[in-house]
Amino acid sequence: QVQLVESGGGLVQAGGSLRLSCAASGRTFSSYAMGWFRQAPGKEREFVAAISGRFGSTVYADSVKGRFTISRDSAKNTLYLQMNSLKPEDTAVYFCATAVRPPITATMNYNYWGQGTQVTVSS
């Protein structure tokens, strides 16, 4: 059974940092693209960042480019999201997911999802 479990969320002041982790089990995900998405109250789930499986290429939403960094540790089957210079508008529930087809910026192209971790940035 495939399972993705996010951790590392919390409350932080604007300008602060957090590192999210996504532990994957039930399958080796090193060959799969994986991504981070977020959903704020009353808004649709949106793409944040993704990393390809084969070459580790990364792509980011414009709103987080230069502030967030996605990475993966294939030996640990774990995906990370380092978030720096956090802003109140980054407040959301953050989800990790595995992609089944490109483009890996589209929510519809992901099949397995974690339960999410709350990130709250105070001003």
One pLDDT digit (tens) per residue for the chain, 123 residues: 789 999 999 999 999 999 999 999 987 787 889 999 999 999 999 999 999 988 899 999 999 999 999 999 988 999 999 999 999 999 999 999 999 999 999 999 999 999 999 999 999
pLDDT number for residue 40: 97
Could you tell me how many residues make up the chain?
123
Distances (CA, A) of 63 to 48, 68, 78: 8, 9, 24
- Distance, CA of 53 to CA of 104 (rounded, Å): 11
β-pair partners for 120? 11
